[in-house]
């Protein structure tokens, strides 16, 4: 058992095998919207889960990590987590737009038409958050982590900027998730 659970790829593959078994057992294999919605949700869990990891665990803990141990986070953990964070954001946005397109409400949501205001607000907030990830947080994290060359003052300023925009995304994630969940529960605004 330890060998199996010690292999993340095997665990994820087994999860997908179980999902496929459930899919065929329920005769849902041809449900494109269902598949896309599933990919949207799992991508969103990856993205927002890592956003919360950074803001509730890594950022508050780093000041108490001994200096000799900090490179373990900044050179190994943070770059890998930021990879999944960025691509979780990208995948969430792409699959979310595809779900809205397939369900026929993409235009209505982006223009806040009646019955689609909540999902529209959620979508706009998600786009702002994804923009922050790719065009503010990631460029500044590359400097702060030393992935690109920068002097000490630039690294410190970049770390602060990345943190502020990460916290901005944490703030925006609350109404974004509320809007998306409430809309999908049948709420309309």
Q: What is the pTM of this model?
A: 0.89
Q: Does 189 have pLDDT greater than 60?
A: no
**pLDDT the model gives residue 146:** 94
Share of the chain above pLDDT 70, in %: 97
**pLDDT the model gives residue 184:** 74
Which two three-digit tokens encode residue 181? 């969940």
Q: Does 30 have pLDDT greater than 80?
A: no
Q: What is the pLDDT of residues 39-72, one digit of tens each?
A: 999 999 999 999 999 999 999 999 999 999 999 9
Q: What is the pLDDT of residues 128-186, one digit of tens each?
A: 999 999 999 999 999 999 999 999 999 999 999 999 999 999 999 999 999 999 887 77
């Amino acid at each position: 058992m330890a060998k199996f659970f010690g292999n993340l790829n095997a665990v994820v593959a087994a999860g997908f095998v179980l999902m496929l078994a459930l899919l065929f057992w329920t005769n849902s294999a041809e449900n494109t919207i269902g598949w896309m919605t599933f990919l949207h949700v799992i991508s969103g869990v990856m993205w927002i889960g890592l956003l919360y990891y950074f803001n509730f665990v890594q950022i508050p803990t780093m000041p108490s990590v001994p200096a000799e141990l900090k490179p373990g986070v900044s050179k190994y953990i943070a770059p890998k987590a930021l990879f999944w964070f960025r691509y979780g954001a990208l995948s969430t946005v792409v699959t979310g737009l595809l779900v809205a397109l397939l369900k026929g409400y993409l235009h209505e949501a982006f223009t806040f038409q009646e019955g689609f205001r909540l999902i529209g607000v959620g979508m706009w907030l998600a786009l702002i958050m994804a923009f922050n990830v790719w065009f503010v947080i990631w460029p500044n994290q590359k400097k702060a982590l030393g992935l690109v060359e920068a002097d000490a003052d630039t690294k410190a300023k970049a770390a602060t900027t990345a943190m502020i925009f990460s916290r901005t995304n944490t703030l925006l994630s609350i109404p974004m998730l509320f809007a998306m969940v409430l809309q999908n529960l049948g709420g309309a605004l």
